[in-house]
């Protein structure tokens, strides 16, 4: 999608993404993949280079995705010098919910958005000998422990409380997200527009 911008040089056509990036708004949309993670990292790097004191708004609408890609995005969000404010604009499921919950400078949900947490899932069908399957299982349990620690850190809940909440597909309304410590505030769309 393109938008028209008026300036002293006339009218220019730019992509909506470019216009929003110039307003320090970055999207995590669709599945979290290695490619999506790289695009996200590039945008955060550019905005930090431009001005590391001005907030960046990250708008999430994602069903989740690959854990390794999400963890790289998590590292970038945590290390960004520019404050990153998280907005859930629809759904933030699985890894998307973890990324949303890790915001250190405000975690905001629109009134009809939703979070979902669960245990880490295997991406592919399991095959191989018993040693391979055992190794995969141990790796999955370690990933689960790591995810629970991260969620515990960002929600203020104990790892046991997080483990109980993630033992099945647990859907959280904005109000439930707030009471579980996943969200700071339920806001309306105008807050995103004000920037």
pLDDT in tens, 54-91: 999 999 999 999 999 999 999 999 999 999 999 999 99
Q: Is residue 84 part of a domain?
A: yes
Q: What is the Cα–Cα distance from 29 to 154, expressed in whole angstroms?
A: 22
Which CATH number belongs to the domain containing residue 55 in this structure? Answer: 3.90.226.10
pLDDT band per the 50, 70, 90 thresholds, residue 140: confident
Q: Is residue 131 part of a domain?
A: yes
Q: What is the Cα–Cα distance from 27 to 36, expressed in whole angstroms?
A: 10
pLDDT band per the 50, 70, 90 thresholds, residue 119: confident
The residue that leads in pLDDT, 190 or 138, is: 190
Q: Is residue 5 part of a domain?
A: no
Range of the domain at 169: 12-194
Q: Is residue 64 part of a domain?
A: yes
DSSP state of 32: B
CA distances from 10 to 6, 7, 16, 18, 22 (A): 6, 5, 18, 18, 19
Q: What is the Cα–Cα distance from 80 to 100, expressed in whole angstroms?
A: 15
Q: Is residue 80 part of a domain?
A: yes
Q: Which residue has the tokens 């056509």?
A: 13
Q: Mean pLDDT, the chain, as a whole number?
A: 90
pLDDT of residue 187: 96
Query: Does residue 36 contact residue 66 with C-beta atoms inside 8 Å?
Result: no
Q: Which residues are catalytic?
A: 94, 118
In degrees and rounded to multiples of 5, residue 12 shows phi and psi of -120, 145
pLDDT of residue 127: 65
CA distances from 152 to 25, 140, 147, 164 (A): 27, 18, 8, 12
Confidence check: pLDDT of 131 > 70: yes
Q: What is the pTM of this model?
A: 0.86
Q: Is residue 3 part of a domain?
A: no
Q: Is residue 46 part of a domain?
A: yes
**Closest residue by Cα to residue 87 from 36, 24, 32:** 24
How many degrees, rounded to 5, is the angle at CA 58 between CA 57 and CA 63? 160
Q: Is residue 178 part of a domain?
A: yes
Report how many domains make up the chain.
1
In the chain, the percentage of residues whose pLDDT exceeds 90 is 71
Q: Which two tokens stand for residue 50?
A: 């431009």
């Amino acid at each position: 999608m393109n938008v028209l911008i008026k300036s002293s040089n006339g009218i220019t056509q730019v992509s909506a993404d470019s216009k929003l990036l110039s307003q320090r708004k970055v999207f995590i949309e669709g599945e979290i993949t290695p490619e999506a993670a790289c695009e996200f990292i590039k945008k955060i790097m550019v905005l930090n280079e431009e001005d590391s004191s001005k907030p960046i708004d990250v708008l999430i609408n994602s069903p989740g995705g690959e854990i390794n890609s999400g963890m790289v995005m998590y590292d970038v969000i945590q290390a960004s010098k520019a404050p990153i404010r998280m907005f859930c604009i629809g759904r933030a499921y699985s890894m998307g919910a973890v990324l949303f919950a890790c915001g250190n400078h405000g975690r905001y949900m629109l009134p009809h958005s939703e979070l979902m947490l669960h245990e880490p899932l295997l991406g592919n069908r399991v095959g191989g000998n018993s040693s391979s399957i055992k190794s995969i299982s141990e790796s999955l349990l370690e990933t689960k422990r790591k995810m629970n620690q991260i969620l515990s850190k960002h929600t203020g809940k104990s790892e046991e409380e997080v483990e109980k909440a993630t033992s099945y597909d647990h859907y959280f309304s904005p109000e439930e997200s707030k009471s579980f410590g996943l969200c700071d505030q339920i806001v309306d769309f105008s807050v995103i527009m004000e920037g």
